[in-house]
């Protein structure tokens, strides 16, 4: 690698000289018609091997005294590449103090002259890059996105709560679309996030499935912002965990088995009856578990009522996709030892969300998404016939 760096720097210097020659003509030859003259050299630095390396660059001035820009130098001197390297290493969990050790080898001579590898320099680069990430995420135009599903969840860090949103489009593509912070996962914070999404173009006139973990603040804000156009599906995994938390160990397995059977029943009404019967069965010995089970129980069967089954139903009846994104964001910030303020929390979370997006795949059984789209349209426009129904009728 060090030999390649030395060769690369030689090529870079040659490129500088070629460009100066094109502007000023061959060195040492008089040309009355030239538009620029050589003007010595200047000190600069370029990005190489994940660090800043000092270089000497030739300079030129026009005949009327203006500096001639050296395009090849500007390209190599741009800090965007360095910022991206820093972003990728921080996202991978490399602490600021270890960046110099993880950088690519560039040779002893070059390494002694490098800069931008100190903790403070790395930190400045990361702040710059995460500010860009936060701005990009919060400015995403949603007007051209055919968003069918919206997943919401809260992440607690630094005594704050960041509510994040993950959208799933009609073709099964997952997209992080926003985040909002507050002291708790309350209705005001969630409503602010949803209002921001609508302002950026989120359309829900044709129906929207909103998947949440069960928090009352989430469901209240969803109803307030989207009205009856949105259908809420509560996470069945969260419900099972919440019920289990109210039970002794000896009763957790059989209760959970009955819940799984109820939530997976192909007939949503039968599944609901099974769950209600289980709640009645728990009333005497474990009233808290029964109360936990009954809370929001109708919304456990929303996806099934829409006629969705199989792997797509399994994906949409839990908050696993958004929790997976949050876990990657959490891994990104695991080396943070001191959270300075809410802006820092937002920057790091946004960086983690965009880092997670790079590994996203379409959801399982995305080919069934048109069926979900039609079902949501029927809900939003009960008196209209969907495109699929029109084709079926014509056939």
Tokens standing for residue 135: 């701005």
Which two structure tokens, joined as six digits, stand for 351?
A: 């960086």
Query: Does residue 221 share a domain with residue 350?
Result: yes
Shared domain for 151 and 113, answered yes or no, is: no
Q: Assess if residue 385 is contained within a domain.
A: no
Q: Is residue 315 part of a domain?
A: yes
Task: Report the distance separating Cα 129 and Cα 80, nearest Å.
Answer: 9
The count of domains in the chain is 2
Specify whether 185 is located in the same domain as 314. yes
The answer on 291 and 205 residing in a single domain is yes
128 and 159 together in one domain: no
pLDDT mean for each 10 residues of the chain (395 residues): 58 81 78 79 77 82 88 74 48 48 49 50 64 89 97 86 95 96 85 97 98 88 96 97 97 97 97 98 97 96 97 96 90 73 85 88 94 97 68 51
Decide which of 100, 134, 168 is a domain's last residue: 134
Residue 89 lies in a domain: yes
d(CA 94, CA 335): 8
Do 172 and 314 sit in the same domain of this protein?
A: yes
Tell me, what's the pLDDT at 106?
A: 47
101 and 187 housed in the same domain:
no
Question: Residue 273: inside a domain, yes or no?
Answer: yes
38 and 19, same structural domain? yes
Q: How far is 12 from 16, CA to CA, in rounded Å?
A: 6
Q: Does residue 387 lie within any of the structural domains?
A: no
Is 390 within a domain? no
Indicate if 9 and 39 belong to the same structural domain.
yes
Where a domain ends, among 81, 101, 134?
A: 134
How do beta strands 208-212 and 230-234 pair?
A: parallel
Give residue 358's domain range: 145-380
Q: Are residues 109 and 181 in the same domain?
A: no
Query: Do residues 297 and 356 share a domain?
Result: yes
393 within a domain of the structure (yes/no):
no
Q: Give me the pLDDT at residue 144, please.
A: 94
- Among 134, 161, 188, give the residue marking a domain's end: 134
For residue 394, tell me if it sits in a domain: no
Are 102 and 32 contained in the same domain?
Answer: yes
């Amino acid at each position: 690698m060090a030999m390649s760096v030395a060769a690369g720097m030689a090529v870079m210097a040659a490129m500088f000289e070629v460009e100066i020659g094109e502007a000023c003509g061959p060195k040492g030859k008089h040309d009355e018609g030239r538009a620029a003259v050589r003007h010595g050299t200047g000190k600069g630095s370029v990005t190489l091997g994940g660090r800043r390396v000092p270089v000497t660059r030739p300079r030129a001035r026009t005949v009327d005294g203006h500096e001639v820009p050296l395009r090849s130098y500007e390209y190599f001197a741009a800090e965007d590449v360095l910022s991206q390297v820093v972003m990728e290493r921080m996202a991978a969990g490399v602490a600021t103090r270890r960046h110099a050790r993880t950088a690519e080898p560039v040779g002893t001579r070059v390494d002694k002259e490098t800069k931008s590898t100190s903790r403070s320099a790395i930190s400045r680069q990361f702040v710059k890059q995460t500010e860009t990430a936060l701005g990009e995420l919060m400015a995403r135009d949603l007007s051209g996105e055919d968003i069918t599903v919206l997943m919401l969840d809260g992440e607690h860090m630094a005594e704050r709560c960041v509510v994040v949103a993950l959208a799933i489009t009609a073709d099964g593509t997952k997209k992080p679309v926003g985040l909002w912070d507050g002291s708790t996962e309350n209705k005001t914070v969630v409503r602010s996030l949803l209002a921001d999404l609508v302002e950026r173009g989120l359309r829900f006139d044709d129906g929207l499935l909103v998947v949440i973990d069960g928090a009352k603040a989430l469901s209240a804000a969803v109803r307030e912002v989207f009205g009856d156009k949105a259908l809420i599906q509560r996470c069945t995994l969260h419900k099972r965990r919440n019920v289990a938390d109210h039970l002794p160990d000896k009763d957790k397995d059989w209760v959970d088995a009955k819940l799984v059977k109820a939530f997976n029943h192909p007939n949503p009404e039968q599944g609901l009856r099974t769950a209600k019967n289980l709640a009645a069965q728990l009333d005497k010995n474990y009233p808290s578990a029964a109360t936990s089970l009954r809370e929001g129980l109708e919304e456990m069967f929303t996806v099934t009522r829409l006629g969705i089954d199989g792997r797509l139903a399994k994906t949409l009846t839990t908050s696993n996709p958004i929790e997976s994104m949050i876990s990657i964001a959490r891994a990104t910030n695991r080396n943070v030892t001191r959270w300075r303020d809410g802006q820092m929390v937002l920057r790091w979370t946004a960086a983690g969300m965009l880092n997670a997006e790079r590994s996203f795949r379409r959801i399982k059984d995305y080919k069934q998404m048109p069926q979900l789209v039609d079902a949501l349209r029927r809900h939003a426009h009960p008196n209209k016939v969907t495109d699929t129904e029109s084709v079926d009728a014509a056939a």
